[in-house]
Amino acid sequence: MATDTLKVEATALKDKGNKAFKEHDWPTAIDFYTKAIEKVGTDPAFYSNRAQANIKLEAYGYAIADATKALELDPANVKAYWRRAIANTAILNSKDAMRDFKIVVKKEPNNKDAKLKLAECEKLVKRIQFLKAIEVGDPPSAFEGLDIASIAVPEDYDGVRLGDKMTQEFIDDMITRFKDGKQLHKKYVYQIVKAVRDIVYDEPTMVEMEVAQKTKLTVCGDTHGQYFDLLEIFRLNGYPSEDHAYLFNGDFVDRGSWSTEIALLLYSYKWLRPNYFFLNRGNHETDDMNRVYGFEGECKAKYSERVFKIFSESFSALPLATLIGKKYLTLHGGLFSDDKTSLDDIRKLNRHQQRQPGQAGLMMEMLWTDPQQAPGRGPSKRGVGLQFGPDVTKRFCENNGLEAVIRSHEVRMEGYEVEHNGKCITVFSAPKYCDATENKGAYINIGPELKLEYHKFDAVPHPDIKPMAYAQNSLMQMM
């Protein structure tokens, strides 16, 4: 039984958490809510508030657990049902989300927003069922029947023309077009995506590269459709060249509302300099995430459904990891459920047989897992994949002769974080993520000596288009 003193102290901690939440400092808010729970573990509001902060950090598994605990303490807690529904929607557990939205509507029959979310959730469930019903084992290529050469570009097209090869002139013009809110002609989109699909398809599942003398490599994390922040990286750090290679470690698209612009710019650099520009697949370069988090909708709004389909095919061809100088394994998510997994297992993985990562297996773990402070392995805070501790990272690096693992996949308030005794490095390159988190962005420069140099940067202004503007329902737009 909590004493009155403990209750007062816990409430003060919750208030500090609420203040941090209002300032968009989600990790600090979670820390205060956790301390409040440690003093008084019977107040459902503490768990419900922490659930909302976990949603903001995309720790949806933790949010579901917190909302469930709040409901155990108070079965009538509407906020907890709502937050659990939102978290389940985020990890595509649409049926569970629908069940909770129904409860909210029943308890608050005049809640128009809840009715809207329930209707949208029901549509989402039906769409998922429909897509599964028409799914075929080996679908034809999205490029089948697409005669790109026969597509004419009008005489009045005001951009630089693209021939059979990518040029720096075309890229420079593209950068300006996108800044001005213009699009490429669809013929050029088809050309770019097909060229890069063909290039990356032939690359190994784990690309192995060295940093040559008098050159450097920059590793960037998630950019998530934040086009103007991507340009800020290039402004601060230099544009890609044969002396300055780049590696983008997944999650180029979704959430931000310039995902097609980022994908096309990165692809154009890959086409121009395939041996000096590298792309790893992220968990958002997948169909199920793109359908919910905005990229599919953006492709349809700016171009066509076919553009989404060809992007989807190209995403499934992307490598899953890059080994830098035999010292740094770079992959989007993290490490594995089995200590025996090795670099050779990654090399042998045939990513072309399994286009989408699914709910289990090596590809899913490479795209979805996260580090944890505690040793061993634990359930995923996201509700997908797992978490791995410093001992897991240490063994993996020792067994494979690595200095460290570089990964992305998670917001870091300073743009990057070095943990697991220096063996696990997270880099995240979308500052002020979704216009809602007061985080910096970061990138890592690596020279021939393979020393890591961390650089932080702030978000820059962008046109007044909100994140998730192309998400197909407001279930996602509110997250």
Structure tokens of 357? 């990562």
Q: Go through the chain and tell me how many residues it has.
A: 479
DSSP string computed for 327-396: TEEEESS---S-TT--HHHHHH--TTT-SS--SSSHHHHHHH-EE-SSSSEEE-TTSSSEEE-HHHHHHH
Which residues, listed in sequence order, are joined to residue 457 by a DSSP beta bridge?
441
Nearest alpha carbon to residue 346 among 210, 203, 196: 203
Going from the C-alpha of 127 to that of each of 101, 121, 171, 292, 472, the distances in angstroms are 18, 10, 37, 11, 12
Q: Which residue has the tokens 């329930």?
A: 118
CA pair distance 198, 253, nearest whole angstrom: 20
Contact 259, 250 (CB under 8 A): no
Beta strands at 370-371 and 328-331: parallel, antiparallel or unpaired: unpaired
In the chain, the amino acid numbered 120 is: E
β-strand 244-249 against 216-220: which pairing, if any?
parallel
| Active site residue ranges | 284
> What tokens were used for 14?
């919750």
- CA distance linking residue 109 with residue 105, whole number of Å: 5
- 3-class DSSP state of 427: strand
419 and 426 in contact (C-beta within 8 Å)? yes
